Amino acid sequence: MTLRRGLRRTLVAAVVTAALVGCGSEEEPTKKATPAATKPAAVPDELVGTWVRKLGPSNGDYGAGTYTVKLLADGSVEAYFAGSNTAKSCLTQKRCEVFTVEASAGKLSIPDTADCLSPGEYTYKVTRNMLKTKRAHDDCSSSNSERPRLFANATWRRQG
């Protein structure tokens, strides 16, 4: 029994040593990763932040209530629909969508989303703590689709 245990330990030690030796590399690292801070922003600073608006009962599947859009400088968006908990991760909630946008020169480009299978473009204007968006071009016209309901002729208020 002791001989078997000793052989097992030796075998395990040999396998671990071989694995560790195989993980190394004789090549020098070529280039360090570029920090995210040096990557150009996908959206202007004026759009970055948390925006809220209230929608009435005629808003189809998503319901009436407060909607929140969190927009990061890299263009990442978390859109929390009425009834969602904005303190929790969007990815863990049924009534929340994650997507990306690009913005410049007053145009907001939104790629395809869960409900809209083609990209859309909206104009935007930020005045103090208000964001106004209008449809410029979007083939997604269903009244129950989240993108037009969120961004077509919408007024958002900056939170915080």
- pLDDT higher for 16 or 142? 142
What local confidence, expressed as pLDDT, does residue 144 receive? 63
pLDDT category of residue 41 using cuts at 50, 70 and 90? confident
**Whole-number Å distance between alpha carbons of 86 and 96:** 9
pLDDT category of residue 11 using cuts at 50, 70 and 90? very low
User: Which tokens belong to 139?
Assistant: 């083939």
Lowest mean pLDDT, pick from 67-81, 103-117, 118-132? 103-117
**Whole-number Å distance between alpha carbons of 144 and 142:** 5
pLDDT category of residue 3 using cuts at 50, 70 and 90? very low
Q: Which residues contact 134 (CB under 8 A, 6 or more apart)?
A: 122, 123, 124, 152, 153, 154
> Is the pLDDT assigned to residue 80 strictly greater than 60?
yes
Give tens-digit pLDDT for 82-121.
Answer: 999 999 999 999 889 899 999 999 999 998 877 788 899 9
Choose which CATH entry (2.40.128, 3.30.1490, 3.30.200, 2.60.40) describes domain 40-158.
2.40.128
> Is the pLDDT assigned to residue 126 strictly greater than 90?
yes
137-152 average pLDDT score: 80
- pLDDT higher for 145 or 42? 42
Q: Please say whether the beta carbons of 73 and 41 come within 8 A.
A: yes
Domain ranges of the chain: 40-158
pLDDT category of residue 45 using cuts at 50, 70 and 90? very high
> Is the pLDDT assigned to residue 52 strictly greater than 90?
yes
